[in-house]
Structure 1
Amino acid sequence: MGPVRGLKKRKRAEKNAAARVTAAAPGSGDWWDDFSRRITGHLSKESRKFESIFKISRKTFNYICSLVRDDLMARTSNFAFTDGKTLSLEDQVTWRFVEAMEERGIHHLKWPTSPEMEDIKSKFEEIQGLPNCCGAIDTTHIMMCLPSVDATNKVWVDYEKKHSMVLQAVVDPDLRFRDIITGWPGSMNEVPVLQSSGFFKMCEKGTRLNGEKVELPEKLEVREYIIGDSGFPLLPWLLTPYQGKDLSDAKIEFNKRLSGTRMVAQRALARLKGMWKIIQGEMWRPDKHRLPRIIYVCCLLHNIAIDLEDEVRDVMPLSDEHDTSYKQQFCDIADGNGSTLRDKLSRYLSGRLPP
Structure 2
Amino acid sequence: MMNTLMRIYVDGLNDQNEMNIDVIRYRRMRRRRARRQVVLQVRALLFRQRHAAQPRVMVNRCSQWWDDAAHRDDVFWKKNFRMNQGVFRVLCDRLAPNLQRNALNGLSVERLVGITIWRLATPCELRTISNLFGVGRSTVCEVVHEVCGAIIDSMMEDYIVWPQGDCLRQVMNGFPQCAGAIDGTHIPIIAPKNNPADYHNRKGWYSLILQAVVDNKMRFTDVNVGFPGRAHDARVFRNSALYEKGENGDLFPQWHREINGVQMPPVILGDPAYPLLSWLMKGFSEGANFRQEERVFNYRLSRTRMVVEREFGQLKGRWRILMRRNDSALRFVPKMVTACCILHNFCIAENQAYDNDWNEVNEDEDIYRNHQPHVDPVNHVAVNAGDIRNALIQYFA
Distance (whole Å) between structure 1 residues aligned to residue 56 and residue 96 of structure 2 = 19
Query: TM-score w.r.t. structure 1 length?
Result: 0.79
1:38 is matched with: none
Distance change in 2, residues 1:309/1:228 (3 Å): same
Match of 1:143 in 2: 188
Q: 2:167 aligns with which of 116, 119, 142?
A: 116
Please tell me whether residue 172 in structure 1 is matched to residue 203 in structure 2.
Answer: no
Deviates more, 1:133-142 or 1:96-105: 96-105
Q: Which amino acid aligns with 1:233?
A: P
Residue number among 346, 350, 357 corresponding to 1:308 in the alignment: 350
**Which is worse superposed, 130-139 or 5-14?**
5-14
Give 1:50's aligned residue: 77
User: Which of 232, 237, 247 is matched with 1:189 structurally?
Assistant: 232
Q: Aligned partner of 1:267: which letter?
A: R
AA in 2 matched with 1:164: S
1:49-73 CA-to-partner distances (Å, cap 9, x unmatched) read 2211122233332221111123334
Matched, 1:70 2:113: no
- Of the structure 1 ranges 5-14 and 186-195, higher mean CA displacement relative to structure 2 is found in 5-14
Which structure carries more helix by proportion? 2
Residues 34 and 244 (structure 1 numbering): CA distance in 2 closer, same or farther, change over 3 Å?
closer
How far residue 318 of structure 1 moved from its aligned partner, in angstroms, is: 7.6
Q: Quick one: distance in 2 between partners of 1:300 and 1:48? A: 23
Alignment match, 1:206: 249
Structure 2 match to 1:233 = 275
RMSD between aligned residues = 3.1
- Asked if 2 retains the 8 angstrom alpha-carbon contact of 1:267 and 1:320, the reply is no
1:247 aligns to what SS in structure 2?
coil
Residues 62-106 of structure 1: CA deviation (Å, up to 9, x unaligned)? 22111112333444469xxxxxxx983222222221121112211
Matched, 1:331 2:382: no
Distance 2:79 2:53 in 1: 33
Letter in 2 for 1:337: N
Matched, 1:94 2:144: yes
Following the alignment from structure 2 to structure 1, what is the Cα–Cα distance between the partners of residues 54 and 216?
48
Distance (Å, rounded) in 2 between the aligned partners of 1:45 and 1:77: 26
Distance 1:34 1:134, change over 3 A: closer
Query: Per the alignment, do residues 34 and 57 of structure 1 end up closer, same or farther by CA in structure 2, a change over 3 Å counting?
Result: closer
| Equivalent residues of 2:180, 2:268 under 8 A apart | yes
- The residue type paired with residue 131 of structure 1 is P
Asked which structure has the greater CA Rg, the reply is: 2
Question: In structure 1, what residue type is equivalent to 2:334?
Answer: P
Deviation of 1:133 after TM superposition, in Å, equals 0.7
Rounded Cα–Cα distance in structure 2 between residues aligned with 1:195 and 1:9: 56
Unaligned ranges ≥5, structure 2: 1-36, 106-135
Residue 159 of structure 1 corresponds to 202
State the one-letter code of the partner of 1:144.
Answer: I
Q: What is the rounded CA distance, in whole Å, between the counterparts of 1:103 and 1:95 in structure 2?
A: 12
Specify the code of the residue in structure 2 equivalent to 1:313. Answer: Y
Asked if structure 2 preserves the Cα contact closer than 8 Å seen for 1:72 and 1:93, the reply is no
User: What is the aligned residue count?
Assistant: 318
Q: Could you say what secondary structure the match of 1:313 adopts?
A: coil
SS at match of 1:91: helix
Given that 2:262 and 2:387 are in contact with CA atoms closer than 8 Å, whether structure 1 keeps it comes out as no
Aligned residue for 1:289? Answer: 331
Structure 2 SS opposite 1:202 = helix
Q: Quick one: distance in 1 between partners of 2:166 and 2:360? A: 30
Distance 1:75 1:8 in 2: 30
Query: Identity, % of aligned pairs?
Result: 25
Separation in 1, partners of 2:361, 2:386: 27
Aligned partners of 1:14 and 1:89 also within 8 Å:
no
Instruction: Name the CA distance, whole Å, in 1 between partners of 2:145 and 2:58.
Output: 16
Distance 1:76 1:165 in 2: 30
SS at match of 1:141: strand
Distance 1:153 1:267, change over 3 A: same
